[in-house]
Amino acid sequence: MLFLCVFFALLGLGLGYAARYLKVQGEPLVEQIDALLPQTQCGQCKYPGCRPYAQAIVDETAEINQCPPGGEETIAALANLLGVATQPLNAEFGETNAPAVAFIIEQDCIGCVKCIPPCPVDAILGASKQMHTVIASECTGCELCIAPCPVDCIIMRPLAPPPGQWQWTTHHD
């Protein structure tokens, strides 16, 4: 009897030890949330980027419906991950627009470099008193460069897929 008690106590200690020191490190929640966000780094959620917003969701200081570029799809994915109910996008933070990229009207550009620091992904190429241009393949369409431009030469252009990226649709009734 005593032997059994000691044996089970040892097993218990062993399990406790294993639970403590051999714990599998899961991906932290903030990383998982960040992976679901669209990475436009646009700041429309009122946080300075996707990662800080993910942190805010973890800290429960932000709701999951504050990401306009992600839209309903991102909200659904976040709700699924966090095990909470989905909710409609909070219109306070903006609305979901069709994907677009910034475009600099080159003859109007005065080369002031004011648009370059706000770009979160370094997608604007230019130097002082030189014409600037947007690298369209890198642009996330965050619109952060539009407000700083003193001559309003940056416009958003919708991304129309070329035939190579066109896709079939069905009318699911």
User: Where does this chain bind another protein (CB under 8 A)?
Assistant: 34, 37-41, 49-50, 120-123, 138, 140, 162-170, 172-173
Nearer to another protein, 92 or 138 (CB): 138
Inter-helix orientation angle 29-36/50-58, to 10°: 130
Residue spans of alpha helices (H) in the chain: 2-21, 29-36, 50-58, 71-82
Residues found in the chain: 173
- Shortest spacing between CB 150 and another protein, in angstroms: 23
**Contact (Cβ atoms closer than 8 angstroms) between residue 50 and residue 68:** no
- Shortest spacing between CB 170 and another protein, in angstroms: 5
Q: Which residues contact 51 (CB under 8 A, 6 or more apart)?
A: 30, 34
Nearer to another protein, 53 or 152 (CB): 53
Nearer to another protein, 3 or 168 (CB): 168
- Shortest spacing between CB 146 and another protein, in angstroms: 18
- Shortest spacing between CB 16 and another protein, in angstroms: 38
